[in-house]
Amino acid sequence: MKHFRVKQRLFALIMSITLIISVSIPCFAANSLGVKYKGGSWSTGTYYISSNATSQMSNWATSSVGYWKSALPQLQFQKSNSGSAASTRLSISYLDRGPTGWYGVTVYFDYNAATWTQISEEGYAPDTDYYAASENINKHYFSSTHNRTAEQHQNVIMHEIGHALGHAHTNTTSSLMYTYIGDETTALRKPTKDDINGAKKIYGW
């Protein structure tokens, strides 16, 4: 499985890049996980923001999804109040995991006969195409004591959505999928041309 997390610089850069990029499939300057959403209608599904998100966090998450939707007209996710409905293809959850060193991780799921099955460990890509993805955002790093900006918060969410779309990390610092975007970028980083073209290549858009 391919491993990816939005990490702090304290974690080994060489290990992270080697593990992610060396096993990824090139698509433009972006990198693909080699797996993707399955089902022809996945892009018209819904997304859910967990109820434990503050109103501000919910607004940031909604904006982050909106930036990807603006970049990819084929992506037509609509917000839903249910995280368990069959239409749910993306969930954004807020968990306080403490000082783990990562800001966000993605978990992948399959769905069959009204049953959800987790098919990857937290922060790892599955070995097969998936039905849905959940972005787990570590609230610890977005508390008032860490002084993270709204832009950094949104960058992490957009980065994790990139993983949901099938993107791996890249060492291109200008990319939304740069491994250390949560640490080194304080300005808002919307999907770049490479991020967009990478998604189009993955899904044949």
| Angle, alpha carbons 84-103-30 (nearest 5°) | 85
Q: Which residue has the higher pLDDT, 20 or 60?
A: 60
Domains and their CATH numbers in the chain = 6-203 (3.40.390.10)
The pLDDT, as a whole number, for residue 26 is 38
Residue 146 has pLDDT above 50, yes or no: yes
Residue 165 has pLDDT above 80, yes or no: yes
E strand map for 2-155? 6-7, 25-27, 30-32, 46-49, 78-80, 88-95, 102-112, 115-118, 132-138
Residue 164 has pLDDT above 90, yes or no: yes
The pLDDT, as a whole number, for residue 16 is 36
How many CB atoms lie under 10 A from the CB of residue 37? 21
The pLDDT, as a whole number, for residue 5 is 57
Average pLDDT over residues 103-129: 94
The pLDDT, as a whole number, for residue 200 is 96
Amino acid at 104: G
Average pLDDT over residues 60-88: 96
The pLDDT, as a whole number, for residue 18 is 30
Residue 29 has pLDDT above 90, yes or no: no
Specify the range with the lowest mean pLDDT, choosing from 26-30, 142-146, 160-164: 26-30
Q: Which residue has the higher pLDDT, 147 or 59?
A: 59
In 3D space, the residue among 89, 80, 193 whose CA is nearest the CA of residue 131 turns out to be: 89
The band of 181, judged by pLDDT with boundaries at 50, 70 and 90, is confident
